[in-house]
Structure 1
Amino acid sequence: MSLAEADIAFAKELFSALPDITTRRMFGGMGIYADGVIFALMRSDAQILIKSQDSAFDAKLSGMGAQKWTYTRKNGAESSMPYWTLPDAAVDDPDLATALAREALALLR
């Protein structure tokens, strides 16, 4: 499954208040960048994930109902990535989505 143009347009619009938003297709999904820094992904199922490598931000996202991206390796071991699902409230609220993206970017720079 790969992303539809409408999915890509949705992500760009959701984060349009950020400077220099660009996207790059990868692995059936895409990376979402602001000023050249990747801060989010959109998986091939069109779910948006926001990057976090900070325990306080992880806790905030978890408190908002986000879930950490985990997967099972071929050997059965569970692994996780430094990405969290975008909270449902943020999917429908560009101001909240942008605020979370700004917070993620501040921690990534």
Structure 2
Amino acid sequence: MAVSDEEIAHALDLFADLGSLSTRKMFGGLGMYHAGNIFAVLMSDGRLLLKGQGEMQARLDEMGLKRWTYQREGKAPASMPYWELPDSALDDAEEAVMLARAAIAHL
């Protein structure tokens, strides 16, 4: 399943105040970039995840946000450096941009 045009438009609207954004479709989802650096991923199932590196990882964990993990058959679970945005940020561009700016600062 690929992300819909509506899901892409919503994600771009949420982060519009960041300024110049670019996107790239990948694996049925969408990578979101600011100044050439990926900071968020829109998954093919519609989840919007924010990249966390350095101090931002601990902050996202402390917020109780769900980290993206996957498991291949016969392998141990693997965690990626992306966390789901809180539900409140999905409806509040100000909160989404605040979190995105903090994530971008640690890229």
Q: Which residue of 2 aligns with 1:58?
A: 57
8 Å CA contact 1:61–1:87 kept in 2: the answer is no
1:19/1:35 contact within 8 Å kept = no
Where in structure 1 are there 5+ consecutive unaligned residues? none
Which residue pairs with 1:87 in the alignment?
86
Unaligned runs of 5+ in 2: none
Kept in 2, the 8 Å contact 1:31–1:38? The answer is yes
Deviating 4+ runs (over 6 angstroms): none
Give the structure 1 partner of residue 75 of structure 2: 76
- Structure 1 length normalisation: TM-score? 0.91
Structure 1 position 19, deviation (Å)? 1.8
Match of 1:17 in 2: 17
Equivalent positions of 1:23-42 (< 5 A) are 23-42=23-42
In the other structure, the counterpart of 2:47 is 47
Q: Is the 8 A contact 2:25 2:31 kept in 1?
A: yes
2:6 paired residue number:
6
> How many pairs are equivalent?
107
Q: Percent identity?
A: 48
* Structure 2 length-normalised TM: 0.93
> Following the alignment from structure 1 to structure 2, what is the Cα–Cα distance between the partners of residues 95 and 9?
16
